Structure 1
Amino acid sequence: MAKKQTPMMEQYLDIKSRYSEELLFFRLGDFYELFNDDALIASRELNITLTGRPTGDEERTPMCGVPFHAAESYIETLVKKGYKVAICEQLEDPKAVKGIVKRDVIKVITPGTVMTENGNDARSNNFLALFYMVKDAWILVFSDVSTGEVIWHRITDCEKRSDMFDALSMYRPSEIILPEGTVLPQDIKDFMDNQFSNIVLSPFSTYHTQREVAEKAVTHFGDLGLMEEDVWEALGYMLLYLEDIIKSEISHINYVHQLSVGNRLILDTSSLRHLEITHNLRDGGQKGTLLDVLDRTLTPMGARLLKQWLESPLTDVNQIQRRQAAVAELITRGAERSHIRSLLDCIYDFERIVGRVETGSVSPRDLTALRESLAVLPDIKNVLSTCASLSLTSINDCIQDHKDIYDLLCRAIADQPALTLKEGRVIKDGFNPDLDELRSLATNSEQWLAKMEADIKEATGLSKIKTGYNKVFGYYFEVSHSKSEQVPDYFIRKQTLANAERYITPELKEFEIKILSAKDKIIALEYELYQQLRNDIKLVIKDVQETARALAELDVLGSLALVGYEENYICPTIVMNGQINIRDGRHPVIEKFLKREVFVPNDIFLNHDDEEFLLITGPNMAGKSTYMRQAAILMIMAQIGSFIPAREASISPVDRIFTRVGASDDISTGQSTFMVEMKEVAYILENATHNSLIILDEIGRGTSTFDGLSIAQAVVEHICKHIHGKTLFATHYHELICLEESYSKLKNYTVAVKEKGKDVAFLRRIIKGGADRSYGIHVARLAGLPNSVLKRAEVILESLEDQSHDASDLNNRVIGGQPTNVVKPTTKQVSDSPLGNLFTHSVVDSLLEVDVMSMTPIEALNKLYELQEEARKGGGK
């Protein structure tokens, strides 16, 4: 039978029962202690010593601990690994309490609510998500608690998982709140497990009714315009969860906007990944991404905003042109640009600092950073006042100098404050007279005592009086027996010695009390003054946040201007005629990191008239994928308002960019490369529109030649017949070039190749026309395959080509009673079915159209010669 628990352990277990999912940091003196399973987890994850403690059980209870003054870094480590941490503090002074000190949890820190300076990546948002399922819709809410931003999205089709995948990919939340009754579908869970690490699911229930929850949001956010009741409910659940977790005011969470699908270019999960916009495919980092090239921002706020711009470009022409005008002005006015950037370099992340002001976790160094940031605002406004573009003048209007707060911080906060309040010396000398007196007592007690002694000597005539101190009586005046009769009446005898008497006075006792309690009083008064200062700043948090967001936009525009100036980018003309016309476009990432050769520029021309679908053939490694990625990336750059690497350009904004590039397995869900490819293609065909840009690379290569070629042709035909989106389609199936004859808006393009014997050079230039063969063996030779393997491959290839040319051609198939031209591969089938030349289907078509009976002999001979030449060309003769 287990022994009775100690009172302290009973208190711990009672608190732990209310925070069963969290690691409980239980304050004991100067340490936070963890017990039982929490201790085992913390010991393993933090690599700290696991010990034991007698707590009443027969066996020692596992425990480990960390110093309270250094706990922040340990907590951040645990949170980054996906754990929740509950901070249980002592709510009473242990010196003033007999028995067990009252304790309780003062806040919970979760991956989505961490507010510490080092707990988040300064240059990326840390979004908390809420998924709320109602009868006919999903409500998604994303909030960065550290910045106060809230984005909501309503998905009316509950079965449309792609919208949820896209939102998750864009905001990459670290935690998801699930209000009571909301259950995530398994495919969403699988997607999160596959794409992200350490996402925490947080079920949440409340005693409030749905109406009360909605009213909570209305009261907090005020007028947000007309919104459905269920959206208010979702926002209310988020607020209730945050209040329960943070356990402090959250009025800084006030910047609410909808994820407006109609005004932005949608980049789905695959496009964000394949195009490497903000994360690379290699390790998920920023190196080698478009963000890496364009990010010359100087503030964390600007870095976060640029990332949001890249993941959510604009479609509204007016907004794009406004950004372009601002970038253009900053490019042409180099002195002003440099001055603005030098000022921005002095600004800290005060968007997150004011969030910590609101929640009570702001440090003295944070306030110093805020003060230094506010100091440069008047100079920034002076420079912006000379600017003419609408975006820059609007930014200037949104920036306030916050002079009152700046002056208050200058008067209140020391030039070099301590890291924490308990270290003292945070409030500046001269700010508060009582604090100055206490500090003077603490630092100049000897001088104060000497002055008091001199005053007493002068007042009483006791020239031999001395001052002293002991632990029993404290401070005292010592007078010899011979002079004791001269002692004034207000002297109080405390001790008699052999040769002297010791006295105290009310003034000396008051001095003693001040001296002995000065340190505690200094800490208490500094804390009181600090909290009052925090409350004064809280009154203007919303205005300061607006200034921070305006500075972030200025920083991004300045970054785009600097990159555009240094890299010689041009301003694309925004048009509405459906055309994309880019002359000598360059891939910004490859161009930036290309070391040994010059990047070869290429033209990109797409429209809905005669070049809607570009079928690009040519060898692997020749640059097809680069060309297509380049087209998509230049469109993204243009639609965020950036200049682009090209000689000249005019573009019509697209509503979506779809990409299917590269090959990868999805091992976690057991899906092969080909299955992943087909799912992505299916998604594109289902969601692409007339105004979309579609990038497809090597469709069908993950299966057999016949299946792959059939699928590739069917996809081409479907896009040409039903979608009519602007499409770049690269393929190694050069047999598909004959489709140009069937579709007037499809044009063949290929990569220029220079051959010399068995050697081949890829010129990286995209030109009109189609490739008449593959160059697989040439690429294998470049890759360094052994000569014996290459020679054997050539023999096998020649044999296969001969068999293919000898086989009969079956070109006309009847599907649903209608004849359909089907492209056939040049390789031999496994079955015994006869095969013909893949290109002879056009010869047969021409032959069937000939009216032999009406032709003269010479016309018939010429036609026969023409058909023969076409057959030879198709067969590679």
Structure 2
Amino acid sequence: MAVSYTPMLEQYREVKSKHTNEILFFRLGDFYEMFFEDAEVASRELEITLTSRDGGHDIRVPMCGVPFHAADNYIAKLINKGYKVAICEQVEDPKQAKGIVRREVIKIITPGTILTESSLPDKANNYLALLYEEADELCLVAADISTGECIWAIFSGSSRINGVCDQLFRLLPAELVLAGKVEGFSVISSFLAQRIPACAITTLANPDLILASELLNKHFSRQELPSNLSAQAATSYLLYYLHYTLKSDLSHINKLTRINTQDYLILDASTLRNLEITRNMRDGGRKDTLLSVLDFTKTAMGGRLLKKWLEFPLLNPINIVRRQDAIAELLDRRMVREELKELLDNVYDFERILTRIEVGSANARDLTALKTSLTVMPDIKNKLQDCHSDILSGIARKISTHVDVVNMIETAIVDNPPFSVRDGGLIRPGYDLELDELRSIARDSKQWIQELELREREKTGIKSLKVGYNKVFGYYLEVTHANTGAVPPNYVRKQTLVNAERYITPELKDFETKVLGAQEKIVNIEYQLFTAIREYIKERIREIQQTARQVAQLDVIVSLTEAAARYNYVRPILNNNRELIIKDGRHPVVERLLTGEMFVPNDTELNHRDSEIIIITGPNMAGKSTYMRQVALLTIMAQIGSFVPAREASICPIDRIFTRVGASDDLATGQSTFMVEMTETAQIIKFATANSLIILDEIGRGTSTFDGMSIARAVVEYIRDKVRAKTLFATHYHELTELAESSKVIKNYSVAVKERGNDIVFLRRIIPGGADKSYGIHVAQLAGLPKRIIERAQQILQELEQEKGNYNVVTGHKTESAKTTAAATVSLFSLSVVDELLGIDVMTLTPLEALNTLYKLQNQAREETGRL
């Protein structure tokens, strides 16, 4: 037998049946209430009290609730924990309702559709992405509803999954929607779990195809629509999902941009991560990244755009030079730059304010922030009016002053409005005649109350009599118990307190009706006026968005100029000789982290004539990795149009940068260090071109010495013969330096080291020629290993080098003397000990690992020789 609940709970259950995947916030008075399982989940996740409510027929129903005015914080907590929230509001005036008030879900909040200001990062986007596959094409479309941006990209062929993963790593979507089946999604899912674990995954079930198509044509002009049918379908599904969740017009999503890989220097997920361009490897934050060094933006809009520029460096030299020209002009005109910085300091994130206006959640403070931002636009235009660079003069032309919007807000909204738009106090005096008249009545009421209080005191002789007000009884006269005998007959007792009695009179009730009616009318009129102003601005969103984009671009140019001025950067030359030449280059991040010492600069020259591949040898901690990353980062900086930390630089545009650095197990997919290393190397070999830059650090060190050396050599030879990419290759296999003797395009470099007896000093200079030592034992000594271990390690190293000296790395065979040495070695160690020693890559061991390995080998030797 079906259980029958109270009418209100039956209404709740009906709404909930349509929103089984969301926690339902059900509005009851001043609270959002949750019932049944939703209440149990919410009380646990939000750490609020779980109570119960009478459900009818002696049934108790689990219940919990949160105040509606504080709901945003609770909703944000649930969203951060991976839940979705449906907001159910009263959509009928309770005074006019027959029976229970009608309620409907007015919006669904998901990780990709949340608009609460405190939940959105200022200088990063909050993307909702959607994947749709048709035939062999995989389409990715993404929108940031907080800014109105919408982008799309198409991936096809065998590399489409990798391409999607790389793009997702740039976007860092808060939510990914699947529109239909996506072949190979298990790979994408594993990637998300490892690299973007906070991304929620949603499946779009049974979309209304007709409505989706109508939305596509409503939001974008025919000229903006992709010619690709898969992209059209994907974009329409995204818009359908956004309208389904937000249930709003969303007209601010009106610009559709294609991410075309042919327009940008491609940085895959590994490279973005390894180079720490916008996120560090430590905790994914901005600290100690290239972005943190270059970010002097004054606005959130500029901060978001700078991040995009760094993740999408340009390929077209013409566009790069245009940015350089703008930076150069502002460098020369310091006063203009300083004045622009001051003006930009007054600009709020009005890109996101426009979105709140669009969806109807903007309050009066948002409008005053918009006014403040737009007020400085005439001055910005004026400062740029006589600029000569294409970008700066273009910004001056495209920025509008929006005087009508500024004047309307200035005339209508008070300077410091309250947070709520429902409580009045928003509209300036003089803006509306009816409102002013009602305010006069409300203002005069205070004087009337004072006069009534004095009059009643004199008439009754009760000096302590006072007039009060509360929401339950309205206005009342309060008299202490000691004076109740002097109360006149026309006083009607309304409430008894511990120390006093409260009364009303016909005169007081008439006044109350008049005043409270005025107050209610004031609030209603103010809200109507405010929404009318909001609608007026809403009609102008598209042109204000255009101004916002220009302000963001100006902010980034000013930011890059500021970095160049502060840090002594120079303008790189763009060449078409397919050369990369850097004189006295510096690592932009490391040089900022140094305290008490100067960064040691280094030169780089890569070309396709006599320096296509540079093999770099030298000890750990000497600066090989820093140097190679430095070259990659300077190339990226040059291709976003930035100046670079160097004495001079000449760079040809690079189409892709690949990096294989570091060593870490991929625990999420169960892959070993060596498997990760080989997988990443395979991707580089597959996709690199002669116009690419490859950074390889210690290829082959995840396996045995001879296996690793063989793989490293084969990789270098393949790049030399087939790929022809500019390559920096750091290795501990000194034997690889022999490759330079048989190839004119390979050069050897090493890190300069100064020896002082048994001590060494790393000079951080990259010099021609290969290193003849690894200095691993010296590094172990610097790390603090005991003297006894260091001495024993030196003895073992001498014995191993004697054997290794008779090994021909070219032929891969031992000489007769090597065999003799090997036989002699067996007299000192058993074959098992020798095999284990030969399998150790000394240079990759940590001090603790070295100690444990030596301890193990010593015990093994003792057991086998009987010397316990």
With the shorter chain as reference, the TM-score category is 0.7 to 0.9
- 1:127-526, aligned counterparts within 5 Å? 127-157=127-157, 160-182=160-182, 185-206=185-206, 208-209=208-209, 213-222=212-221, 223-224=223-224, 227-445=227-445, 513-526=513-526
Question: 1:226: Cα distance to partner?
Answer: 5.5
The residue aligned with 2:741 is 741
**Residues 133 and 679 (structure 1), Cα distance of their counterparts in 2 relative to 1, 3 Å cut:** same
- 1:660-809, aligned counterparts within 5 Å? 660-805=660-805, 807=806, 809=808
Q: Which amino acid aligns with 1:28?
A: L
For 2:290 and 2:636, locate their aligned partners in 1 and report how far apart those are by CA, in whole Å: 10
For 1:551 and 1:810, locate their aligned partners in 2 and report how far apart those are by CA, in whole Å: 60
For 1:698 and 1:8, locate their aligned partners in 2 and report how far apart those are by CA, in whole Å: 68
**Aligned to 1:242, what secondary structure does the other structure show?**
helix
2:329–2:389 contact (8 Å) kept in structure 1: yes
For 1:640 and 1:303, locate their aligned partners in 2 and report how far apart those are by CA, in whole Å: 14
2:137–2:230 contact (8 Å) kept in structure 1: no
Q: Which amino acid aligns with 1:357?
A: I
Deviations 1:638-682 (A, max 9, x none): 111111110011110100110011111111111111111111111
**Residues 796 and 27 (structure 1), Cα distance of their counterparts in 2 relative to 1, 3 Å cut:** same
Structure 1 position 74 matched with structure 2 position 79: no
Unaligned runs of 5+ in 1: 453-467, 476-494, 815-823, 838-877
Question: 1:214: Cα distance to partner?
Answer: 3.6
Question: 1:274: Cα distance to partner?
Answer: 0.3
Answer with 150-159 or 754-763: which moved more. Answer: 150-159
Deviations 1:752-783 (A, max 9, x none): 11112111111100011011221110111111
2:169–2:196 contact (8 Å) kept in structure 1: no
**Aligned to 2:658, what secondary structure does the other structure show?**
strand
The residue aligned with 2:530 is 530
- 1:611-626, aligned counterparts within 5 Å? 611-626=611-626
Deviations 1:500-534 (A, max 9, x none): xx9999xx999865423122222221221111111
**Aligned to 1:564, what secondary structure does the other structure show?**
helix
The residue aligned with 1:654 is 654
**Aligned to 2:17, what secondary structure does the other structure show?**
helix
**Residues 212 and 98 (structure 1), Cα distance of their counterparts in 2 relative to 1, 3 Å cut:** closer
1:605–1:611 contact (8 Å) kept in structure 2: yes
Question: 1:208: Cα distance to partner?
Answer: 3.2
Q: Which amino acid aligns with 1:535?
A: E
Question: 1:230: Cα distance to partner?
Answer: 2.0
Deviations 1:674-704 (A, max 9, x none): 1111111111111111100000001111111
Question: 1:301: Cα distance to partner?
Answer: 0.1
Question: 1:245: Cα distance to partner?
Answer: 0.6
Q: TM-score, normalised by structure 1?
A: 0.85
For 2:645 and 2:801, locate their aligned partners in 1 and report how far apart those are by CA, in whole Å: 43
For 1:116 and 1:53, locate their aligned partners in 2 and report how far apart those are by CA, in whole Å: 30
For 1:741 and 1:652, locate their aligned partners in 2 and report how far apart those are by CA, in whole Å: 27
Question: 1:112: Cα distance to partner?
Answer: 0.6
**Residues 503 and 769 (structure 1), Cα distance of their counterparts in 2 relative to 1, 3 Å cut:** closer
**Residues 772 and 813 (structure 1), Cα distance of their counterparts in 2 relative to 1, 3 Å cut:** closer
Question: 1:597: Cα distance to partner?
Answer: 1.8
Question: 1:188: Cα distance to partner?
Answer: 0.7
1:2–1:58 contact (8 Å) kept in structure 2: no
The residue aligned with 1:461 is none
Q: Which amino acid aligns with 2:35?
A: F
Q: Which amino acid aligns with 1:401?
A: T
Question: 1:80: Cα distance to partner?
Answer: 2.4
For 1:504 and 1:43, locate their aligned partners in 2 and report how far apart those are by CA, in whole Å: 48
The residue aligned with 1:117 is 117
For 1:123 and 1:470, locate their aligned partners in 2 and report how far apart those are by CA, in whole Å: 48
Q: Which amino acid aligns with 1:388?
A: H
Deviations 1:343-387 (A, max 9, x none): 000000000000110111112111110011111111111101021
- 1:28-43, aligned counterparts within 5 Å? 28-43=28-43
**Residues 228 and 316 (structure 1), Cα distance of their counterparts in 2 relative to 1, 3 Å cut:** same
Q: CA RMSD in A?
A: 3.0
**Residues 159 and 290 (structure 1), Cα distance of their counterparts in 2 relative to 1, 3 Å cut:** closer
Deviations 1:800-849 (A, max 9, x none): 122334x56485379xxxxxxxxx9x999979999xx9xxxxxxxxxxxx
Q: Which amino acid aligns with 1:751?
A: V
For 1:216 and 1:760, locate their aligned partners in 2 and report how far apart those are by CA, in whole Å: 69
- 1:553-702, aligned counterparts within 5 Å? 553-702=553-702
For 1:709 and 1:810, locate their aligned partners in 2 and report how far apart those are by CA, in whole Å: 9
For 2:680 and 2:327, locate their aligned partners in 1 and report how far apart those are by CA, in whole Å: 36
**Residues 335 and 503 (structure 1), Cα distance of their counterparts in 2 relative to 1, 3 Å cut:** closer
1:2–1:56 contact (8 Å) kept in structure 2: no
The residue aligned with 1:481 is none
Q: Which amino acid aligns with 1:688?
A: A
2:574–2:650 contact (8 Å) kept in structure 1: yes
**Aligned to 1:107, what secondary structure does the other structure show?**
strand
**Residues 698 and 437 (structure 1), Cα distance of their counterparts in 2 relative to 1, 3 Å cut:** same
Q: Which amino acid aligns with 2:771?
A: A
The residue aligned with 2:458 is none
**Aligned to 2:400, what secondary structure does the other structure show?**
coil
1:602–1:765 contact (8 Å) kept in structure 2: yes
**Residues 36 and 449 (structure 1), Cα distance of their counterparts in 2 relative to 1, 3 Å cut:** closer
1:609–1:745 contact (8 Å) kept in structure 2: yes
2:698–2:730 contact (8 Å) kept in structure 1: yes
**Aligned to 2:119, what secondary structure does the other structure show?**
coil
Deviations 1:117-149 (A, max 9, x none): 112001110011010111120111011111111
**Residues 336 and 473 (structure 1), Cα distance of their counterparts in 2 relative to 1, 3 Å cut:** closer
**Residues 88 and 252 (structure 1), Cα distance of their counterparts in 2 relative to 1, 3 Å cut:** same
Question: 1:2: Cα distance to partner?
Answer: 7.1
2:424–2:527 contact (8 Å) kept in structure 1: no
1:617–1:751 contact (8 Å) kept in structure 2: yes
For 2:294 and 2:800, locate their aligned partners in 1 and report how far apart those are by CA, in whole Å: 49
Q: Which amino acid aligns with 1:718?
A: Y
2:395–2:550 contact (8 Å) kept in structure 1: yes
The residue aligned with 1:86 is 86
2:298–2:345 contact (8 Å) kept in structure 1: yes
Question: 1:77: Cα distance to partner?
Answer: 1.9
1:3–1:56 contact (8 Å) kept in structure 2: no
For 2:627 and 2:587, locate their aligned partners in 1 and report how far apart those are by CA, in whole Å: 8
The residue aligned with 1:102 is 102
1:79–1:110 contact (8 Å) kept in structure 2: yes
Question: 1:450: Cα distance to partner?
Answer: 11
For 2:651 and 2:802, locate their aligned partners in 1 and report how far apart those are by CA, in whole Å: 47
Q: Which amino acid aligns with 1:107?
A: K
**Residues 474 and 91 (structure 1), Cα distance of their counterparts in 2 relative to 1, 3 Å cut:** closer
**Residues 450 and 833 (structure 1), Cα distance of their counterparts in 2 relative to 1, 3 Å cut:** closer
**Aligned to 1:750, what secondary structure does the other structure show?**
strand
**Aligned to 1:4, what secondary structure does the other structure show?**
coil
Q: Which amino acid aligns with 1:47?
A: E
Deviations 1:38-71 (A, max 9, x none): 2222222222222222324766322211100111
**Residues 110 and 57 (structure 1), Cα distance of their counterparts in 2 relative to 1, 3 Å cut:** farther
Q: Which amino acid aligns with 2:569?
A: Y
**Residues 470 and 5 (structure 1), Cα distance of their counterparts in 2 relative to 1, 3 Å cut:** closer
Q: Which amino acid aligns with 1:526?
A: E
1:441–1:448 contact (8 Å) kept in structure 2: no
Q: TM-score, normalised by structure 2?
A: 0.86
Q: Which amino acid aligns with 1:717?
A: E
Q: Which amino acid aligns with 1:594?
A: L
**Aligned to 1:621, what secondary structure does the other structure show?**
coil
